[in-house]
């Protein structure tokens, strides 16, 4: 059974950012609805905005942040993720401030499949190398 936040994420599947000055209102709502009304451009990384928007819409606690790594403080850590759990990945280097966050879908042969925002500039399912995993987190 899917959790409410993941159900909401699936309903947004296919929403895409628009490179350049014509930003997509469906992506901008992820920022504005969690308190970032100043964001006027969907070129700003939006995986965390999307994740927090889904949590808010599911009436779950959420963070007012655009940092993917902030999700390392959400819920509880797990070694055995289930569909809909949070996945936090590192980008650039394990010790950098940069990351990516999405919902766990499945794992196969060292590849984690996530449903998330800002994956090829859209809400989509995408593969990520498990070697980039920071943590799996259970929803609150």
Q: Domain residues for 120?
A: 4-138
Residue with tokens 């995408």, as numbered in its chain: 126
Please state the domain count of the chain: 1
Which domain CATH number covers 31?
Answer: 3.90.1720.10
- Order of all β-strands in the sheet with 76-78: 76-78, 133-138, 86-90, 99-108, 111-119, 122-129
CA distance 77 to 79: 7
The pLDDT confidence band at residue 1, using thresholds 50, 70 and 90, is low
Q: What is the pTM of this model?
A: 0.95
pLDDT digits (tens, 9 = 90+) for 5-41: 999 999 999 999 988 778 899 999 999 999 999 998 8
pLDDT digits (tens, 9 = 90+) for 65-98: 999 999 999 999 999 999 999 999 999 999 999 9
CA nearest to 69, candidates 88, 94, 47, 91: 88
Greatest alpha-carbon span in the chain: 42
């Amino acid at each position: 059974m899917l959790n409410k936040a993941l159900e909401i994420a699936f309903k947004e599947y296919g929403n895409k950012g628009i490179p350049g000055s014509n930003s997509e209102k469906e992506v901008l709502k992820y920022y504005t609805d969690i308190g970032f009304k100043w964001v006027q451009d969907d070129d700003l990384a939006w995986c965390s905005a999307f994740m927090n928007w889904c949590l808010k819409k599911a009436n779950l606690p959420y963070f007012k942040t655009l940092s993917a790594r902030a999700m390392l403080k959400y819920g509880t850590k797990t070694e055995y993720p289930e569909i809909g759990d949070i996945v936090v990945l590192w980008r650039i280097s394990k010790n950098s401030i940069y990351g990516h966050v999405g919902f766990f879908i499945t794992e196969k042969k060292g590849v984690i499949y996530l449903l998330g925002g800002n994956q090829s500039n859209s809400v989509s399912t995408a593969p990520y190398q498990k070697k980039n995993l920071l943590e799996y987190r259970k929803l609150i």
